[in-house]
Amino acid sequence: MRFSYHTHCEYCDGKATAAEMAGAAAAAGYSILGFSSHAPLPFKTSWNMDWTDLRAYADVILGLKEKWGREGLQILLGLEVDYIPGLASPADEAYRVIPLDHVIGSVHYIVGLPGGAFTVDESAGVFERHLAKATGGDARPLWKEYYRAMIGMIEAGGFDIIGHFDLVKKNKSHAHGFDEEDSAYLDAAFEAADRAGELSCIAEINTGGIARGKTGSVYPSLTILKRMREAGVRLTIGDDAHAPCHLGSYQGKAIEAAATAGYKSLWYLGTDRSWKEIGLDEAALPAPRD
């Protein structure tokens, strides 16, 4: 059974229309595809949708839900909502003006360092300039602030899935002294993982970094996945697909990571909005199409 809840399209920074993404998912044997365009923010970016597009986006996804439901593919209407302390949160009621099936809560922005806000996943050159201004290029304040925000988001709630838990590692080669096995780094990440377990959260295994050639492994790292298992955090899959070619190509990596971390099952969400468990041996297998 193939499913993913992290799909972008033309309404944000996706490279294809929602219809094209749904068609590609059907061709790849998906049973469930959740759309999750980057939600509007109090300021404009080149990757978030505008507030004025929110209802049009919902109408398009709801139309696809009706169309593909007859063909055996469940389509879900979702958003990926940023947690930015004091500015935006998955818990904000403003996003409930459309009938959401699911919300991915993500941390992209670092706001507590000198020099102004910036994102941890921006292009390498831009990231280096921002980090140099904020910390002199030192990774330690960066990941401390990132995981502090992650805990803030977990405690604020309002999401169904935690997105790309350790996205902060994406530009690690462009930050001085970023060691994923450093005890202080792991203490910060484990604190967030433990809090997610305490609050019965579900996190995605995100393969988007692999799909776009930015990382060689999934988010979260194997070390963090093992801690998540110990903490009782449940897992689902998020392709973080920005183009049709990202669908179906890397789910085996997610299954492999979950198994290596000691997980026996994943969780999936259907249009009835209830979570169900599935064994790893059943996940990521394409559904037969007539």
pLDDT digit string (tens) for 52-67? 999 999 999 999 999 9
pLDDT score, position 119: 98
pLDDT score, position 290: 64
Record the tokens describing residue 224, joined without a space.
């963090």
Q: What is the pTM of this model?
A: 0.98
Cβ atoms 163, 206 nearer than 8 A = yes
pLDDT digit string (tens) for 98-125? 999 999 999 999 999 999 999 999 999 9
Q: Count the residues in the chain.
A: 290
What is the CATH number that goes with domain 2-279? 3.20.20.140
Helices (H), the chain: 18-27, 54-69, 124-135, 139-156, 183-198, 208-211, 222-231, 251-260
In the chain, where the domains are located = 2-279
Instruction: For residue 118, give the 3-state DSSP assignment.
Output: strand
DSSP 6: -
Cβ atoms 78, 163 nearer than 8 A = no
Cβ atoms 20, 64 nearer than 8 A = no
Measured in degrees and rounded to the nearest 5, phi and psi for residue 38 equal: -60, 120
What percent of the chain shows pLDDT beyond 70?
99
Q: How far apart are alpha carbons 205 and 124 in whole angstroms? A: 23
Q: How many CB atoms lie within 10 A of CB 155?
A: 12
Q: How confident is the model at residue 247 (pLDDT cuts 50, 70, 90)?
A: very high
